[in-house]
Amino acid sequence: MARFIVLFVIAAVVFTVFSIIDCAVQPATRHRGVSKRWWIVITCVPVIGGLLWFLIGRARRSQLRSIAPDDDPAFLGSLDAIANQDERIRQLEEELAKLDEELGANGTTPPRGDEPTGPDESDGDDRAEGGTRR
């Protein structure tokens, strides 16, 4: 009889600790009835608290409401953003095509801003031309 009581106490402690840990790691959206803090307090009651947690307090994954994409406002808003991006990309491609046509008609390319176009725009360094700098 003493062995049975010892095994029952060990099983009760293990079950209680398991239910407390399970309650603590679940997100707040999976707690039914009262807040997460209260469920942790309830599960501290040996065996009965754990049973209440698993039977009443813990929401099943199948009971969580899932939203279809066409009912989700965030998803629908992202579709508008994607459509706006596609339109902006199309406009930029048209502008680039026009610029390419203008460059092709002139036959020359305009100078870039980081390249000097003549001696008057140099930084005064004569060493490249054979002179020395003092």
My answer on whether 56 and 77 are in the same domain is no
Confidence at residue 78, expressed as pLDDT on a 0 to 100 scale: 76
My answer on whether 34 and 57 are in the same domain is yes
Does 18 map to a domain?
yes
The tens digit of pLDDT for each residue in 74-88 reads: 777 777 777 788 888
Confidence at residue 93, expressed as pLDDT on a 0 to 100 scale: 93
The pTM assigned to this predicted structure is 0.44
Residue 83, CA distances (Å) to 68, 71, 76, 86 in order = 20, 18, 11, 5
My answer on whether 54 and 83 are in the same domain is no
The tens digit of pLDDT for each residue in 99-133 reads: 888 887 776 665 565 655 555 555 555 555 555 55
User: Tokens in use for 26?
Assistant: 């679940």
Residue 64 three-state SS: coil
Q: Which domain holds residue 94?
A: 69-104
pLDDT at 51 over 60: yes
Kindly report the average pLDDT of the chain as a whole number.
77
Are 43 and 19 in contact, with CB atoms under 8 Å apart? yes
My answer on whether 7 and 59 are in the same domain is yes
